[in-house]
Structure 1
Amino acid sequence: MEKYELLPQQLLLEGTCDEANFFEPELPNDKYICAVHDPDYYYDFLNLKLSQKEIRRTGFPLSRELVWRERLIAGGTIMAAEFALKYGIAMNIAGGTHHAYTNRGEGFCMLNDQAIAARYLQQQKLAEKILIVDLDVHQGNGTAEIFEGDDSVFTFSMHGEKNYPFKKEKSDLDIGLPNDTSDEVYLKTLKETLPELIEKVKPDFVFYLSGVDVLATDKLGKLSLSIEACKERDRFVLQTLKEQQLPVECSMGGGYSQEIKYIVEAHANTYRLAQEIFF
């Protein structure tokens, strides 16, 4: 997507980041992917052996380039999680592939990057209790399915109630918002929920999916948030985590506004706030 090229350019141009702030992701070891995804599914994907039905469900044509990209996104989120433990926060400029299930892909997601990184941290004994805060406009159905019945990872999804996926899975906490939800209602709901959730879950690491498809300008969103409210959302989440001294990995998630400038500006705000709050 175009935003993956434009966003780093914008952050460098305005001085929010410099070259030293960026890292190049590496492909993860297959064992970390197979700790989350069914090995039969993963190796069929890796070897381009998915059925036509499975391919259609993902929305992408299957190719070597797609396999490489999905693995690299997962590797980037693992690396970002490690950087977050060191610096308090780190970002994957891609990621947020939360529609990928244990044994299948869908909704343009083949491998669930934050789920893979969460399990990696646990396997490496770098974290025990993990909270996933998914504020993309679409429910994190794959993430919910992967961690169903797993008390070590708490899944929280606040999303459009009448948006994709139309058959929702059961997260540990789901908040479905009606179409055209306003800035005031959205922010009030989030601010009443997140602090109590942190107190209840007591995580030692947080993954934040900061999708900007909540914007009123988004073609697929159905909510009515302004750029300012989306920024306030990120400010509240990041400030709350900073105050609680909780390391956080952010994956950018969705953004489908007709004009690319809105997508880049909203994502850039997340980075600007990370610099302001954590550094």
Structure 2
Amino acid sequence: MAASSSPEDLRRSRILSSKLYFDVPPSKVPLIYSSDYNISFLGMEKLHPFDSSKWGRICQFLASEGVLDKSCIIEPEEASKEDLLVVHPDKYLDSLQSSSTVAKILVVPPVAMLPNCIIQRKILYPFRKQVGGSVLAAKLAKERGWAINVGGGFHHCSADEGGGFCAYADISLCIHFAFVRLNISRVMIIDLDAHQGNGHEVDFSNDKRVYILDMYNSEVYPLDLVSRRYINQNIEIPSGTITDVYLKKLDEALEVAKQKFDPELVVYNAGTDILDRDPLGCLKISPEGIIKRDEKVFAFAREKGIPILMLTSGGYMKSSARVIADSIINLFSKQLIHMSGTQGIAETGS
């Protein structure tokens, strides 16, 4: 009788049989989005400060500025249960069949009253599509040098536990797929969301292949002191930090990272909840500061010749979508992102 497969063999088999990686025509721009990302159900999405239509509005801004042809956007596949099992155990995925469990993860108590079939269709399905986008982004980054998933970045979710509006561990999934399908063995996570990325920190706590740089407000959620021990570069900043101080700390952090680790892929969690007046981030970074922040991270990757993928993560003001769109336009104008096909995103002036 043949020996049973090890957990690592099973994970590898699931990754190799997944449909989340697929060939993308060169006419497409490595910008990943689906209208299915957006969450809308009887106004209940308004009970959480997160802008649940942010993702669609980013693309609308890019299109209205004349820099994005919507036909060139890449639509991802939904992550299947087999895909999610690459990181999440059955027990965790089964727990999402409980409406009360999902309500706690989303921090929206009334969701507990909804039938779970509605939660699956209206909330978890959009999240699973975004997971598919994050996974595919690594493949496109390797092929094109960069990729942006106009969603994802669920950095509070680990293999065993969701929280903070994060139900699936898309960052961990993306990296495990890259290990197997892209023959990558060294990944750097640069997490610049206002909140600590405790999910991926737990998942890669004993994995030397992953180097984590996390710069976050140490005075707000999740206050996870245990997972802070797993951060390679732990940069804690206080509430009220202003733009100049923030960008100086980022410059210093990137310089250290450059000396400490030589990645083959950068996963950039680019939350905009660091914006001044964001109700949950509690920092005071200007829109121009966020645009400069993203430029610095992409320049870091470009200088080292490392593929980079960006996830939009947190951002709890309506203005976030405009800032993200402006930042993407700036990346093009600075030639930190290049057009891959014959059409799609036009060159813009600096």
Which residue identity lines up with residue 134 of structure 2 in the other structure?
T
Number of the residue aligned with 1:11? 62
Report Cα offsets for 1:11-62 as digits up to 9, x if no partner.
Answer: 01112222243111102343442222223212442xx1x4735642442535
Which residue identity lines up with residue 52 of structure 1 in the other structure?
S
Report Cα offsets for 1:83-138 as digits up to 9, x if no partner.
Answer: 11111111111111001021111111010111110111002143110011100000
Number of the residue aligned with 1:22? 73
Number of the residue aligned with 1:197? 257
How far apart, in 2, do the equivalents of 1:140 and 1:167 lie?
9
Distance 1:241 1:20, change over 3 A: farther
Q: Which of 85, 94, 97 pairs up with 1:34?
A: 85
SS of alignment partner, residue 97 of structure 1: coil
Which residue identity lines up with residue 7 of structure 1 in the other structure?
I
| Deviation for aligned residue 1:166 | 2.3
Number of the residue aligned with 1:112? 169
Which residue identity lines up with residue 237 of structure 1 in the other structure?
V
Aligned-residue sequence identity (percent) comes to 29
Distance 1:78 1:88, change over 3 A: same
| Deviation for aligned residue 1:189 | 0.6
Distance 1:275 1:20, change over 3 A: farther
How far apart, in 2, do the equivalents of 1:10 and 1:127 lie?
34
Which residue identity lines up with residue 230 of structure 1 in the other structure?
I
In the TM superposition, structure 1's runs of 4+ consecutive aligned residues that sit over 4 Å from their partners are none
Is 2:196 the counterpart of 1:145?
Answer: no
SS of alignment partner, residue 104 of structure 2: helix
Number of the residue aligned with 2:107? 59
Q: Which runs of 5+ in 2 are unaligned?
A: 1-51, 339-350
Number of the residue aligned with 1:240? 300
Distance 1:13 1:54, change over 3 A: closer
1:207–1:250 contact (8 Å) kept in structure 2: yes
Count of equivalent residues: 273
How far apart, in 1, do the equivalents of 2:305 and 2:315 lie?
29
- TM-score by structure 1 length? 0.92
How far apart, in 2, do the equivalents of 1:23 and 1:57 lie?
28
Which residue identity lines up with residue 278 of structure 1 in the other structure?
I
How far apart, in 1, do the equivalents of 2:160 and 2:103 lie?
13
Number of the residue aligned with 1:131? 188
RMSD, matched Cα: 1.7
Number of the residue aligned with 2:218? 161
Number of the residue aligned with 2:347? none
| Deviation for aligned residue 1:275 | 2.2
Is 2:149 the counterpart of 1:101?
Answer: no
Which residue identity lines up with residue 247 of structure 1 in the other structure?
P
| Deviation for aligned residue 1:159 | 0.5
Which residue identity lines up with residue 275 of structure 2 in the other structure?
L
| Deviation for aligned residue 1:199 | 3.0
Report Cα offsets for 1:150-185 as digits up to 9, x if no partner.
Answer: 111112210001011123422222211011111111
How far apart, in 1, do the equivalents of 2:276 and 2:188 lie?
27
1:144–1:172 contact (8 Å) kept in structure 2: no
Which residue identity lines up with residue 24 of structure 1 in the other structure?
E
- List aligned pairs for 1:174-213, cutoff 5 A: 174-213=234-273
Could you say which structure has the larger radius of gyration?
2
How far apart, in 2, do the equivalents of 1:25 and 1:125 lie?
18
SS of alignment partner, residue 84 of structure 1: helix
2:105–2:167 contact (8 Å) kept in structure 1: no
1:54–1:104 contact (8 Å) kept in structure 2: no
Is 2:298 the counterpart of 1:265?
Answer: no
- TM-score by structure 2 length? 0.74
Q: Which runs of 5+ in 1 are unaligned?
A: none
| Deviation for aligned residue 1:245 | 0.9
| Deviation for aligned residue 1:76 | 0.6
